[in-house]
Structure 1
Amino acid sequence: MFGGIQIGVLAACVVLFVPMGMAGYHLSRNKMLFFSGALFITLAVGVHLTPYFPSVSDFVTSVQSVVVFDNREDSCINLVNEVVWNVKPRIISSNVSDSSNDSVGYDKIWDWSKNGKVKGCDFEKLGRGDVKDLLNGSWVVVAGDSQARLLVQSVLSLLLDEKKMGMIMGDLFKRHSDYEIVVDEIGMKLDFVWAPYVVNLTNLMVGFKQNRTYPDVLVIGAGLWHMLHVNNASDYDIALENLRSSVVSLLPFSPELGTDGPVTGSVSVRSPHLFWLGMPMLINSMLNTVEKREKMNDKIWHAYYGALHNSRILRSYGGPLLLLDIQSLSWNCGPRCTNDGMHYDGTVYEAAVHILLNALLIESHQKLGSTEF
């Protein structure tokens, strides 16, 4: 963006090259000297008077404060959500002689697309050991509604054995409550913050900034509660824009922290790895209350989806947050992957976690087996 040095260079070019151009029209030397001197004095006076004209000063300041997030950091980041599904029926035997009692279940198998560009990125499902190495010593915060809680369950399922998962499920799924756990084996702390509205997420960002402590990995997402209880996509758009500003203020290259990281305090110089947990596709006929079916219809869902894009909070639209595309995952897995048209099978959130982990590998420029960001 434009700073003092760039403006000075531009002014010098004007003073130097405009008179030279005028010389091409055969003006006399005295006329060129007069014009050059007048131009120089005008520019100098303008630079010194600019701070006294608020509109001009505000314009310069606003231009300098614009943050642009580079989508070209790694082309594979833009392909990490390219997941395909194979949902196929499976006969579940009743273990009795009468096969008419057998039921049909479904195998839900996912993987990354095998087209040329995606195949070249070498995305892969990480085993428990690799996940532990990647998240070793990190602080992970996941904030949002029930979708975020299901994502936390999938993260912990990759880190903990079945017995430990059984021990924590009751506390993890206490309604409308926060949850925290430390995986002592790898020194990882994971916090789930119940934040069903975007304003809750904004308050969380303000808290991070005030406390000057920031997680290594931050996953946030909200929208379903707003859709049901507020049902106003324009209001949701405004809330997302406020959240975007709060998230940007956390980044190390924000005006307050300086381009080389924080000036004072114990804030980490590294930027947190930031993700947005998208809303799932809603299957209206399967929603379990009349109010949900009325307020969470396809038209409203698409209005909210459009508001998310308009807010420019996603990296693909110039924002700070990389999308975990639950919409695409749930749509392609389909109605066989949900019982209530809103909350999907664990396989969907498992895929989202592996998308997140592969994005972390890309952003931290690591390969499997690395032990820190």
Structure 2
Amino acid sequence: MFFGAVQLGLMAACVVLFVPMGMAGWHLSRNKVLFFSGALFITLAVFIHLIPYFPSFFPQTPSVMFQDPATSSCISSLNDVVFRPNSDGYLWDWDNTSNSRSYGCEFQKLGRVDVMDLLNGSWVVVAGDSQARLFVVGLLDLVLGADEMELIHGDLFKRHSDYHITVGEIGLKLDFIWAPYVANLSDVVVEFKRNGSYPDVLVMGSGLWHMLHFTNYSDYGVSLRLLRDSLNQLVPVRRKFEMESDSDPDSTRGMHLFWLGMPTLINGLLNTEEKRAKMTREMCDAYDHELYKSKILRRDGGSFLLLDVGTLSGKCGADCSLDGMHYSDVVYEASVHVMLNALLIESHQKL
């Protein structure tokens, strides 16, 4: 089929080229300059007509890549999770009813082998407060066995401390950085730049400490914008687990960035009077508003994909929380799977 098109094109080119040139030569033989100009014009015209038949001979500028609308829709539906009570507490899953946003997206609950395969050889950094620490627990629960989790539990939960672990079996490096304020998160970014070393996956989240100790949503918004500006200066780095193909070893991509949203606060369950006075529903809404105003989230043109712990914890409800701020493992397990499925989508992988 292809060669038929080429032959037809060549035949048409010959007609277009030689017939006009013969006629031009007959009428313009006494004016060599005019003849040459006419021949050059016709040759260029034929050359342009032949380009579509031989695309491999002519370099082309890269085409603009537009995100598949279906993929974009699924990315935005990752937090569409439902919780159902059972004898042991609560179970979670994506809402797969026909009228849900996540219907047809084929999100997956990943097992240990799948998670290890996805994160093989990666460097994951989680920076934030106690919510971020619980997120790390949810991630490690999917990578390590129960005995291993018991061994590291004490070190992982040392108050206000960093934590590092390397899972030698898959070459996974995981760092938790205690960073309760947004200014601390900006310091983490500056440190990456100073060292010239960047993680493959970066999860950040902050707000609860600022709300309790400063109770100033405007100042929180300023800090978020400073963090956004720092992130914009980061150099994209190779994502080892997300290469386009083995034949393209030089391709590079930016980091996977996730923002760990604040949980739904249940004022009546908060364990101190100070928390109940300062961490009200109105103040939470004001802090959330500053988050969206800062344009740090991808949905608003920023870099972070939101792990919407607020929505997830709100759906699980008061029965999932003991102190009105921290939630049971099922909420963080769901948020970890939201992140993992985002990685699957963005790296075009299926497990």
Partner of 2:297: 314
> Structure 2 vs 1, CA of residues 179 and 311 (structure 1 numbering), >3 Å: closer, same or farther?
same
Give how far 1:107 is off: 2.4
How many angstroms apart in 2 are the aligned matches of 1:268 and 1:74?
A: 23
Kindly tell me the number of residue pairs found equivalent between the two proteins. Answer: 271
Instruction: Show CA shifts across 1:242-277 (max 9, x none).
Output: 011111211539xxxxxxxxxxxxx99320100000
How many angstroms apart in 1 are the aligned matches of 2:143 and 2:272?
A: 35
Q: Kindly report which structure 2 residues correspond to 1:30-109, keeping only aligned pairs within 5 A, or say none.
A: 74-88=72-86, 90=87, 107-109=89-91
How many angstroms apart in 2 are the aligned matches of 1:125 and 1:289?
A: 37
Aligned pair partner of 1:272 in 255, 269, 272:
255
How many angstroms apart in 2 are the aligned matches of 1:71 and 1:350?
A: 28
Partner of 1:219: 203
> Structure 2 vs 1, CA of residues 70 and 201 (structure 1 numbering), >3 Å: closer, same or farther?
farther
How many angstroms apart in 1 are the aligned matches of 2:75 and 2:197?
A: 26
Q: Is the 8 A contact 1:70 1:318 kept in 2?
A: no
Q: Is the 8 A contact 1:85 1:111 kept in 2?
A: yes
Aligned pair partner of 2:185 in 191, 197, 201:
201
> Structure 2 vs 1, CA of residues 276 and 331 (structure 1 numbering), >3 Å: closer, same or farther?
same
> Is 1:290 matched up with 2:251?
no
Q: Kindly report which structure 2 residues correspond to 1:243-258, keeping only aligned pairs within 5 A, or say none.
A: 243-252=227-236
> Structure 2 vs 1, CA of residues 166 and 344 (structure 1 numbering), >3 Å: closer, same or farther?
same
> Is 1:235 matched up with 2:219?
yes
How many angstroms apart in 2 are the aligned matches of 1:135 and 1:153?
A: 16
3-state secondary structure, aligned to 1:358:
helix
Aligned pair partner of 1:157 in 141, 159, 168:
141
Partner of 1:180: 164
Partner of 1:303: 286
Give how far 1:74 is off: 2.7
How many angstroms apart in 1 are the aligned matches of 2:274 and 2:72?
A: 43
Q: Is the 8 A contact 1:205 1:246 kept in 2?
A: yes
> Is 1:357 matched up with 2:340?
yes
Q: Is the 8 A contact 1:71 1:316 kept in 2?
A: no
How many angstroms apart in 1 are the aligned matches of 2:176 and 2:204?
A: 10
Structure 1 residue runs without a partner (length 5+): 1-68, 91-105, 254-266, 369-373
Q: Which one has the largest radius of gyration?
A: 2
3-state secondary structure, aligned to 1:228:
helix
> Is 1:342 matched up with 2:340?
no
How many angstroms apart in 1 are the aligned matches of 2:68 and 2:143?
A: 31
How many angstroms apart in 2 are the aligned matches of 1:251 and 1:304?
A: 29
How many angstroms apart in 1 are the aligned matches of 2:348 and 2:252?
A: 17
How many angstroms apart in 2 are the aligned matches of 1:166 and 1:307?
A: 38
Partner of 2:97: 115
Partner of 1:61: none
Partner of 2:350: 367
Instruction: Show CA shifts across 1:152-181 (max 9, x none).
Output: 001111011110000000000000000000
> Structure 2 vs 1, CA of residues 343 and 71 (structure 1 numbering), >3 Å: closer, same or farther?
farther
Partner of 2:308: 325
How many angstroms apart in 2 are the aligned matches of 1:172 and 1:71?
A: 40
Aligned pair partner of 1:134 in 91, 115, 118:
118
Structure 2 residue runs without a partner (length 5+): 1-65, 238-249
Q: Percent sequence identity over matched residues?
A: 59
Q: Could you say what the CA RMSD is over the residues aligned between the two structures, in angstroms?
A: 1.8
Instruction: Show CA shifts across 1:22-72 (max 9, x none).
Output: xxxxxxxxxxxxxxxxxxxxxxxxxxxxxxxxxxxxxxxxxxxxxxx9796
Q: Is the 8 A contact 1:233 1:304 kept in 2?
A: yes
Q: 4+ residue stretches of structure 1 with deviation over 6 A? A: none
How many angstroms apart in 2 are the aligned matches of 1:85 and 1:194?
A: 29
How many angstroms apart in 2 are the aligned matches of 1:70 and 1:196?
A: 34
Query: Counterpart of 1:315 in structure 2: which amino acid?
Result: R
